[in-house]
Amino acid sequence: MSYQVLARKWRPRTFEQLVGQEHVLRALIHALDEDRLHHAFLFTGTRGVGKTTIARILAKSLNCEQGVSSHPCGECAACREIDEGRFVDLIEVDAASRTKVDETRDLLDNVQYAPTRGRYKVYLIDEVHMFSNHSFNALLKTLEEPPPHVKFLLATTDPQKLPVTILSRCLQFNLRRLAPEWIQDYLQKILGEEAIEAEAAALKQLARAADGSMRDALSLLDQAIAFGGGKVGDADVRAMLGTIDSQYIVRILQALAQQDATALMAEVAQLAEQAPDFSGVLAELISTLQHIALLQQIPEAWDESMGEQATLQALAETLTKEDVQLFYQIALLGRRDLPLSPEPRGGLEMVLLRMLAFRPADAPPVKTAPSSTAGTTSASQPAPVSNAVAEPRIEETSASTSVAAQAVSKPGNASDWHQIVEGLNLSGILQQLAAHCAMSRQEGDAIYLCLNETGAPMLNPEREKQMQEALSHYFGRPINLHIEVRAPETETPAQRQQRLQAERQQEAVMSIENDENVRSLIDAFDATVNPQSIQPQD
């Protein structure tokens, strides 16, 4: 028997076998089980997401000899013939090859006749958007008032080209692009049934290359099996797809961390010898940065499909969170603009140099482990800790009394909390967190804050620790910080700012309304003042 490609061999035969289209299946299953069937269904979506597959399963559900249901038996003559593509009452039409109106009329002339074998005569029209306007007009009347024994199943990748008169007469189901995780799981299941060895990283590459299409993924899997001689390995899939080794990306990130432009350009030169797709290089860099950012925030989120854990963890500890976010954004914009570059390699080099140029000037270069030991970190070299707080530096002096004097001069009671917040020089979410707090009391070196419900989502142990460190620097001595989520008894800095802003706005409005020139205009033209157009001036 000749070999059957995986895309045909593993085409779903029931609704339960379909992947990732639950929103469509739910409506169809309920319609079949409750006998609420429309006469025309339109399935839209990109290639390879299951449009014709769902249409054929629906045809089986309608004509199964066991009765109309969402669970066709798959064993009766009608089910077997539909699976084999030879059921006489399932008329499959490729609209791309039948665009003439005469062909459409010939097709519709047989609509009036009863089905030969099945319960319904089903017309499955694929790529229906390829019909001409005359063909649509010929279809329109039949689609509006078809005989009770006829069902129309239309499929298209471009629903915008369909006339609204056709759309209004169909139940429309938009099939989604499949997530890479769904595709990867399905490929793993197929390889398990086929008893073929595969690496998780290789399947992840295939799932990403499929770009949301299960059929494309199965075709690529067929190619990978042939390329690898019966196995699906990461290196073989990279060679087949023309993607690069992940170690190139690791070394590029290490050079970025060290701020070593020479090493960075040397890595690009080695990479260029492989004649890669430079847009794909940036895509791989973006993906790796996303994994690093995830590990920095949620270390336990590592998955084997991300790559080598030790290598990624070392990069997550070497790069600051701010650098990762900056590099990600620059790489994202650089990939978008890469086609505008006269030379792809030059475009990649400019993206990497831009990462160095826009890195904060006060960010010190980080010493990383050599590439041969990229998966390990040195015990004598602690990894730098990312800190979102702009911590004011305290100059060390020989006179301890001057430090004590500075600490005494700092405001430290509840009414002065807004002054303390301004003196901390915080930024970002940490500043917002402090602004939604109010000091309930201070007992020696312990400060107790109340945080209102609005700011509660911003609180986590890391930010509480950062604020404690900032307060310790501010007062010049160790501070124990305690934050409790409850309604503050005093005004928070955020509430104070809102109150002051409202008072300034009210003063500005009253100043305009009491102005003699404005009053004369109001009296002369029966005019009114729009308070929303008035803004206080600093």
- For the domain that residue 458 is a member of, what is the CATH number? 3.30.300.150
Domain boundary among 132, 153, 174: 174
Residues 27, 115: one domain? Answer: yes
Q: Cα(107)–Cα(110) distance, rounded to whole angstroms?
A: 6
Write down the pLDDT at residue 338: 92
pLDDT at residue 536 greater than cutoff 60: yes
Q: What is the pLDDT of residue 368?
A: 46
Residue 73 above 70 pLDDT?
A: yes
pLDDT at 374: 40
How far is it, in rounded angstroms, from Cα 1 to Cα 25? Answer: 34
pLDDT at 307: 66
Q: Among residues 370, 368, 364, which one has the least CA distance to residue 381? A: 368
Q: Is residue 380 part of a domain?
A: no
Quote the CA–CA distance of 46 and 205 in Å, as a whole number.
20
Please check whether residue 128 lies inside any domain of the structure: yes
Residues 62, 132, single domain; the answer is yes
For residue 458, give the amino acid letter. M
User: What's the pLDDT tens digit per position in 361-392?
Assistant: 655 555 444 444 344 333 334 344 344 333 44
Same domain, 201 and 148: no
The angle, 0 to 180 degrees and rounded to 10, between the axes of the packed helices 246-258 and 321-337 is 120
The CATH number given to whatever domain includes residue 21 is 3.40.50.300
Half-sphere exposure of 306 (CA within 13 A, CB side): 21
Q: Give yes or no for a contact between 182 and 19, defined as CB atoms under 8 angstroms apart.
A: yes
Task: Tell me the CATH number at 202.
Answer: 1.10.8.60
CA distance 92 to 417: 75
At 337 the pLDDT is 92
Residue-wise pLDDT for 12-44, tens only, equals 999 999 988 999 999 999 999 998 999 999 999
Place of tokens 């620059």: 330
Q: Which long-range contacts (CB under 8 A, 24 or more apart) does 398-405 make?
A: 403/476, 404/476
Please check whether residues 167 and 117 belong to one and the same domain: yes
For the question of whether the overall pTM of this predicted structure is more than 0.75, the answer is no
- Which among 174, 194, 209 is the end of a domain? 174
Q: What is the pLDDT of residues 252-294, one digit of tens each?
A: 999 998 888 999 999 999 888 888 888 989 998 998 999 899 8
Number of domains in the chain: 5
User: Can you give the pLDDT at residue 385?
Assistant: 38
Q: Judging by DSSP bridges, how do beta strands 90-94 and 121-126 pair with one another?
A: parallel
Write down the pLDDT at residue 538. 61
User: Which 3 state secondary structure label does DSSP give 69?
Assistant: coil
Query: What pLDDT is recorded for position 531?
Result: 79
Q: What is the pLDDT of residue 310?
A: 81
For 312-348, write each residue's pLDDT tens digit.
Answer: 888 888 888 999 999 999 999 999 999 999 999 999 9
Strand-pair partners of 126: 94, 155
The mean pLDDT value for 234-243 works out to 84
pLDDT of residue 373: 38
The whole-number pLDDT of residue 331 equals 94
Q: Is residue 425 part of a domain?
A: yes
In this structure, are 189 and 234 located in the same domain? yes
Query: Which residues constitute the domain of residue 503?
Result: 495-533
pLDDT of residue 304: 64
Contact 224, 232 (CB under 8 A): yes
User: Would you place residue 415 in the very low, low, confident or very high pLDDT band (cuts 50, 70, 90)?
Assistant: low
Residue 93 CA to residue 43 CA, distance in Å, equals 15
CA distance linking residue 512 with residue 516, whole number of Å: 9
Alpha helices in 34-115 (DSSP H): 51-63, 77-84, 101-108
Position 392 in a domain: no
Q: What is the mean pLDDT of the chain?
A: 84
Distance between CA atoms of residues 29 and 23, nearest Å: 10
